A and B are shown apart, each in its own frame.
Chain A
Amino acid sequence: EDKVVQSPLSLVVHEGDTVTLNCSYEVTNFRSLLWYKQEKKAPTFLFMLTSSGIEKKSGRLSSILDKKELFSILNITATQTGDSAIYLCAVSGGSNYKLTFGKGTLLTVNP
C-alpha cells in the first residue's frame, strides 16, 4: 500500500522565519511528487518533482526531491502571514497517476 508521511503535522512561526516541511514516501511505480497549498477550499498546486536533486523555485518557496532516500522538502523563506495554510504532499504512482496524500502540515505564521 502506498504511503506518504509528512512532518511536522503542525508548525507555528513568526513572520520572517524560514521553515522546512518534510515528506517521505513509499509508493509502487513512482511517477512524481507534488506539493499543494490548501487554505479554505481545494488544494492549489505548488510544485511537481520527478527527478532527484533538481531544486524547483517559485518566489520564496522551493522544493527538492531525493528519490534514493524517498523524501522531499518544501522550504519557505521570509514567511508571511499569507503563507498560513495546510501544505499537502502527494505522490503519484501506478498506471493511472493515482495520488496518495500525506496528512499535511498545518503552518501558522504569526505577525
Chain B
Amino acid sequence: GAVVSQHPSRVICKSGTSVKIECRSLDFQATTMFWYRQFPKKSLMLMATSNEGSKATYEQGVEKDKFLINHASLTLSTLTVTSAHPEDSSFYICSARPDSEQYFGPGTRLTVT
C-alpha cells in the first residue's frame, strides 16, 4: 500500500519555541494532505486540510496563525506549531490519499515543557 512518512517521530521542546513537523508521501503525489491531532485516550480530530499550492483549510476552533501549514510540493506538507505551550502537547498525525483510501503517517508525539 501507499506509504506516508512523518518526521520527527518524537520531539520535546520548551514553551515558547516553534516546532516543524514534516509529512511526506513516499510513493505517490498528494495534492491534499490532512493534519490530525489526538489527545490521550481521545479520537483523532481533524485540524486542517493542506492543499498543494494554495492555502490550507482549517477546521473550526483551530488557530491558523498558531498552526502554520505549508504544502509546497506534491509530496510534502509541513505543520509548524508556533510559540508552543504545554497544552499543545499531543500526538500529531498526517494522512494523504492516492485514491479514495487514506493512508496515515506514523505520527509525531510533541511534548512541550
Contact between A45 and B34 (Cβ–Cβ < 8 Å)? Answer: no
**Closest chain A residue to B31 by CB distance?**
A96
A interface, CB within 8 angstroms of B: 31-32, 34, 36, 41-45, 48, 88, 90, 92, 96-104, 106
| Contacting pair A103 B102 (CB below 8 A) | no
**If the complex has contacts A45-B101, A92-B102, are A98 and B34 also in contact, measured as CB distance less than 8 A?**
yes
Q: Can you list 13 residue pairs at the A/B interface with Cβ under 8 Å?
A: A31-B100, A42-B93, A45-B101, A45-B102, A48-B100, A97-B32, A97-B102, A99-B34, A99-B46, A100-B46, A101-B43, A101-B45, A101-B46
The A-contacting residues of B in range 76-102, CB under 8 angstroms, are 93, 95, 97, 100-102
Whether B1 sits at the interface, judged by CB under 8 Å, is: yes
List chain B positions with a Cβ less than 8 A from chain A.
1, 32, 34, 41-46, 49, 93, 95, 97, 100-107
User: Chain B's nearest CB lies how many Å from the CB of A24?
Assistant: 15
**Contact status B95-A102, CB under 8 Å:** no
Say whether chain B's binding surface is mostly helix, strand, loop, or mixed: loop
Among A41, A99, A106, point to the contact of B102 (Cβ < 8 A). A99
B44 touches A88 (CB 8 A): yes
Contact across chains for B43 and A42 when beta carbons are under 8 A apart: no
Contacts of A101 in B (CB 8 A): 43-46
Determine how close the nearest CB of chain A comes to the CB of B60; give it in whole angstroms. Answer: 9
Within the assembled complex, what's the spacing in Å between the Cα atoms of A103 and B106? Answer: 19
Known contacts A99-B44, A99-B46; can you find 20 more A-B pairs with CB under 8 A? Answer: A32-B100, A36-B104, A41-B106, A42-B104, A42-B107, A43-B93, A43-B104, A45-B103, A45-B104, A48-B100, A48-B101, A88-B43, A88-B44, A96-B32, A98-B46, A101-B44, A101-B45, A101-B46, A102-B43, A103-B43
| A residues less than 8 Å from B107 (CB atoms) | 41-42
Q: Which residue of A lies closest to B97 (CB)?
A: A97
Pairwise interchain contact B32-A34, C-beta atoms closer than 8 A: no
**Whole-angstrom distance between the Cβ of A60 and the nearest chain B Cβ:** 20
